[in-house]
Chains A and B, each alone.
Chain A
Amino acid sequence: MRNKIRGLRTARNLAQGQLADAMGVSRQTINSIENERYIPSLPLALALARYFGTTVEEIFDDQRA
């Protein structure tokens, strides 16, 4: 599933570790999400959306390109 986490994070000058700390997950988990190797749970997706002040649909795209 495609996502915009990396773009949103870098736009705020956040390191993966800082975002990971804010979300209560490991840095490797943020890295895996950004590289689309791991699809986060609904609670984590909602937390990410709230953190970036947007919606889950804005961040995650399940449409295959």
Chain B
Amino acid sequence: MTSERSRTITQSKWFLPASSLVLGAAILVAGLIGRQPVVGVSGLIIMTAFGLFVLLAGSRSETVRGLRGDGRDERFAMIDLRATALSGLTVIIALIVAWLVAIARGQSGSPYDWLCAIGGLAYLIALGLLRWRG
């Protein structure tokens, strides 16, 4: 698949609602397999509602169109990049704090330790690859 075609797909207004629906279905299946039907059904309802919201609210909001992908120009792409970096940093900080708290409680620190390791490793690999690409 070319990057042009993948861009066309991800910038369709249907991409995020469809992805939400697929994720909702995955939550439902996981919930049913784990014998937690309430969690599964709740997940499907929440993800379907979110998908419908971004589909319908896009005509009124630039933020929703940008989130969906079809209203994304260079300025919004920059906003998206910064928001992604900020949310990633938030998750990493939360993981480190949770790991420290677990260690202080005399617990093993798992799974925070390997989640922190994955985050750090992914950052280093991305940094190296992006630098190599120029």
A residues with a Cβ closer than 8 A to B are 24-26, 28-29, 32, 38, 40-41, 44
Beta-carbon contact of A25 and B74 below 8 Å: yes
Cβ of B75 < 8 Å from any Cβ of A? yes
Which residue of chain B is the closest to A32 with respect to CB atoms?
B75
CB distance from A28 to the nearest CB of B (A): 5
What residues of chain B have their CB less than 8 Å away from a CB belonging to chain A?
A: 62, 71, 73-76, 78
Which A residues are CB-close (under 8 A) to B75?
Answer: 25-26, 28-29, 32, 38, 40
| A25 to B62 CA separation, bound complex (whole angstroms) | 12
Query: Which residues of B have CB within 8 Å of A44?
Result: 74
Chain A at the B interface: mostly helix, strand, loop or mixed? loop
Bound Cα distance A38, B79 (Å): 11
| Assembled-state Cα–Cα distance A28/B71 (Å) | 11
Q: How far is the CB of A22 from chain B (nearest CB, A)?
A: 13
CB-nearest residue of chain B relative to A33? B75
| Interchain residue pairs with CB less than 8 A apart (22) | A24-B73, A25-B73, A25-B74, A25-B75, A26-B62, A26-B71, A26-B73, A26-B75, A26-B76, A28-B62, A28-B75, A29-B73, A29-B74, A29-B75, A29-B76, A32-B75, A38-B75, A38-B78, A40-B74, A40-B75, A41-B74, A44-B74
A40 nearest in chain B by CB position:
B74
A38–chain B nearest beta-carbon distance, Å:
5
Alpha-carbon separation in the docked complex, A29 to B71 (Å): 11
User: Closest CB-CB distance, B69 to chain A, in whole Å?
Assistant: 13
B3 → A minimal CB distance (Å):
17
Apart from the given pairs A28-B75, A40-B74, 14 other A-B contacts in the complex at a CB distance below 8 Å: A24-B73, A25-B73, A25-B74, A26-B71, A26-B73, A26-B75, A28-B62, A29-B73, A29-B74, A29-B75, A29-B76, A38-B75, A40-B75, A44-B74
